[in-house]
Amino acid sequence: MLINFWYPMATSAELTGTPLPVRALTQDFVVFRDAQGRAHCLANTCTHRGGALAAGKVVGDNIQCPYHGWQFAGDGRCQRIPSLGVDASIPARTRVDAYPVDERYGIVFAFLGDLPEAERPPILAVKEWEQPGWRSTLQHFAIRGYYERSVENGIDPAHNEYVHDTHGFSGEREEEYRVGDMRIEEAPPWGRGFWHSFKAPPLQGELQKYRPGEGNLEAGTGYFGTNHVWTYIHPAPNYLIHQYLYERPIDEENTHLYLVCARNFALEEKSDAYVMERNLYVARQDMAIIENLHPVLTPDTNTREFMVNSDKCILYYRESQKEWERRGWRIDMDEVHRSRGKVAYAIPSPARREQKGWVLEPVPLVPAAATASATGAGDEHG
């Protein structure tokens, strides 16, 4: 799991007046709305004696710890220590890590890392959002599985034929089936993807009017950063589906997915339910595969899996992951597991670059230099 990316923490709709406890990257956060309606995301551990802020309440613009009533503003600064009396001055070291928040597409995103604003990887943009001729839905799924495996499933063109009866023929036409040319689409420096065409079964129900019978389907997909995936499906010129998937790893075995699905057909609100039901149907088929993969994590080396041409984009993704790891962004999970229950860590927030002296230890990271020498050699692709 990597720091320094934007993670979807909640839907806008579920963030009301009550603070939400949210787990991401094996760490705990509180997400809350202040009195002005602005969303905030803080480390969940109170700097006093470890109270869970998310179990407290929102008081004006602050979150109040349930244990001794300390209050913290959206920027993480402690505003009140009741036991010291009303006039007490507040030591700077009581500050809690606070993370940049960007609320869009009905999702509350938090930037979990310490990079300064200009260096942050952006959120994958939904270009069709609120554009004329388009309508979007948002869905939220929980899966039992590791997020890298889920991203890799998203950018794998060969699974459609076997996993999704809506996209492929379940291997019944083996003599005609193969993954054809993958036309690479670069999104430097954060992502890569590809386009390809494949034969698809007839559309169902009302959708048949867009394309009667079987058809040649154009599809594109790619990763953007460690946890965002785009998938464009073009069954017919006037029937376009553009999907954006944002993933939040809870830990190594659990991931939450937020799916924005933009469409240029069936634009009435009443069609949302049908579209979402289809998306859930397809998502469940993917989940059934991801939840049973071995090992749960992606292997450390590509030689422990036999990659073929259709896995090309997955290899690009793994290279990108290694590159971000070399920058020192990967959480040292072995160390996190070793200190489980003994140390409360915080993902370092941007303020740590300006202010010295924090109560919580930063989460252990795989050192940048050490990974640079450990990777590169020995990894064979193919």
Q: Which of 14, 18, 49, 212 binds ligand FES (CB under 6 A)?
A: 49
Q: Report what 70 binds from ligand FES, Fe ion, none; CB cut-off 5-8 Å by kind.
A: ligand FES
Q: Which residues pair with 320 in a beta bridge?
A: none
- CB within 8 A of 82, min separation 6: which ones? 68, 69, 70
DSSP H helix total and E strand total for the chain: 6, 20
Q: Give the interface segment with Fe ion, choosing from 13-21, 199-207, 279-287, 354-362 (CB under 5 A).
A: 279-287
Nearer to Fe ion, 291 or 335 (CB): 291
CA angle 32, 33, 39 (to 5 degrees): 85
Give me the phi and psi of 287, to 5 degrees please.
-60, -40
Nearer to Fe ion, 44 or 231 (CB): 231
DSSP string, 144-166: ES-HHHHHHHHT-TTSHHHH-TT
Nearer to ligand FES, 65 or 101 (CB): 65
Nearer to ligand FES, 46 or 73 (CB): 46
Minimum CB distance to ligand FES, residue 2 (Å): 29
What is the footprint of ligand FES within residues 59-118 (CB under 6 A)? 65, 67-70
Q: Which residue has the tokens 């720091």?
A: 3
Nearer to ligand FES, 65 or 241 (CB): 65
Q: Give the interface segment with Fe ion, choosing from 64-72, 116-124, 135-143, 286-294 (CB under 5 A).
A: 286-294
User: For residues 167 and 231, what is the distance between their CA atoms, to the nearest angstrom?
Assistant: 13
Q: Which of 286, 290, 320, 371 binds Fe ion (CB under 5 A)?
A: 286
Q: Report what 48 binds from ligand FES, Fe ion, none; CB cut-off 5-8 Å by kind.
A: ligand FES
Q: Please give the structure tokens belonging to residue 92.
A: 């700077």
Residues in contact with ligand FES, counted by CB under 6 A, come to a total of 10
Q: Report what 67 binds from ligand FES, Fe ion, none; CB cut-off 5-8 Å by kind.
A: ligand FES
336 contacts 364 by C-beta, under 8 angstroms: yes
DSSP string, 65-99: -TTT--EE-TTS-EEE-GGG-TTPPPPGGGPPPEE
Q: Report what 183 binds from Fe ion, ligand FES, none; CB cut-off 5-8 Å by kind.
A: none
- CB within 8 A of 364, min separation 6: which ones? 331, 332, 335, 336, 339, 345
128 binds Fe ion (CB under 5 A): no
Q: Give the interface segment with ligand FES, choosing from 41-49, 130-138, 239-247, 286-294 (CB under 6 A).
A: 41-49
Using CB atoms, what's the residue nearest to Fe ion? 286
Helix H or strand E segment including 314: helix 312-326
Nearer to ligand FES, 205 or 341 (CB): 341
Integer-rounded Cα Rg, in Å, for the chain is 23
Q: Report what 51 binds from ligand FES, Fe ion, none; CB cut-off 5-8 Å by kind.
A: ligand FES
Applying CB under 5 A, the residues found at the interface with Fe ion are 286
Applying CB under 6 A, the residues found at the interface with ligand FES are 46, 48-51, 65, 67-70
